[in-house]
Structure 1
Amino acid sequence: MLGAWKSKPQFPPVCVSAFELLFWQKIMLRMGLRKLQDKVALITGAASGIGKATATKFINNGAKVIIADIDQELGQETAKELGPNATFIACDVTQESDISNAVDLAVSKHKQLDIMYNNAGIACRSPLSIVDLDLELFDKVMDINVRGVVAGIKHAARVMIPRGSGSILCTASVTGVIGGVSQHTYSISKFAVVGIVKSLASELCRHGIRVNCISPFAIPTPLVMGEMSQIYPHVDAQRHEDIVHNAGVLKGANCEPNDIANAALFLVSDDAKYVSGHNLVVDGGFTSFKNLDLPAPNQVQ
Structure 2
Amino acid sequence: MTDELAGKVAIVTGGASGLGEGLARRFAAEGAKVLIADVDSDSGTALAADIGANALFVEADVSDVDRVSGLVSTAVDRFGGLHVMVNNAGVSGTMHRRFLDDDLADFHKVMAVNVLAVMAGTRDAARHMSQHGGGSIINLTSIGGIQAGGGVMTYRASKAAVIQFTKCAAIELAHYEIRVNAIAPGNIRTAIVSKSAAGADREKLEEFEAKIREQMRNDRPLKREGTVEDVAEAALYFATDRSRYVTGTVLPIDGGTSAGKVTVRKPKND
TM, length-normalised to structure 1: 0.81
1:265 to 229, 236, 240: 236
Helix, strand or coil at the partner of 1:280: strand
2:59 to 90, 99, 105: 90
RMSD: 2.5
Separation in 2 of the partners of 1:289 and 1:112? 42
CA deviation after TM superposition for structure 1 residue 68, in Å: 0.5
Separation in 2 of the partners of 1:129 and 1:236? 17
Q: Would you say the 8 A contact 1:146–1:192 is kept in 2?
A: yes
1:186 to 155, 178, 182: 155
CA deviation after TM superposition for structure 1 residue 223, in Å: 2.8
1:155 to 101, 120, 124: 124
Match in the other structure for 1:107: 76
CA deviation after TM superposition for structure 1 residue 133, in Å: 3.8
Letter in 2 for 1:42: I
Instruction: Give the fraction of aligned pairs with identical amino acids, expressed as a percent.
Output: 36
Which structure 1 residue ranges, 4+ long, deviate > 3 Å from structure 2?
126-133, 225-233, 235-243, 290-294
Q: Residues 199-278 of structure 1: matches in 2 within 5 Å?
A: 199-227=168-196, 233-234=202-203, 240=209, 243-244=212-213, 247-248=216-217, 249-278=220-249
Q: Residues 1-301 of structure 1: matches in 2 within 5 Å?
A: 11=1, 33-127=2-96, 129-180=98-149, 182-227=151-196, 233-234=202-203, 240=209, 243-244=212-213, 247-248=216-217, 249-290=220-261
Computing the radius of gyration from Cα coordinates, the structure with the larger value is 1
- Which deviates more from structure 2 when the two are superposed, residues 168-177 or residues 125-134? 125-134
Separation in 2 of the partners of 1:219 and 1:182? 18
Q: With CA pairs under 8 Å and 6+ residues apart, which has the higher RCO, 1 or 2?
A: 2
Separation in 1 of the partners of 2:207 and 2:27? 29
CA deviation after TM superposition for structure 1 residue 96, in Å: 1.1
Letter in 2 for 1:288: A
Q: Would you say the 8 A contact 2:122–2:137 is kept in 1?
A: yes
Helix, strand or coil at the partner of 2:94: coil
Helix, strand or coil at the partner of 2:224: coil
Match in the other structure for 2:268: none
Separation in 1 of the partners of 2:65 and 2:74? 14
Change over 3 Å in CA distance of 1:124–1:180 after alignment to 2? same
Helix, strand or coil at the partner of 2:183: strand
Q: Across the two proteins, how many residue pairs are aligned to each other?
A: 264
Q: Would you say the 8 A contact 2:170–2:179 is kept in 1?
A: yes
Separation in 1 of the partners of 2:201 and 2:184? 25
Separation in 1 of the partners of 2:228 and 2:210? 13
TM, length-normalised to structure 2: 0.89
Structure 1 portions without partners, runs of 5+: 1-10, 12-32, 295-301
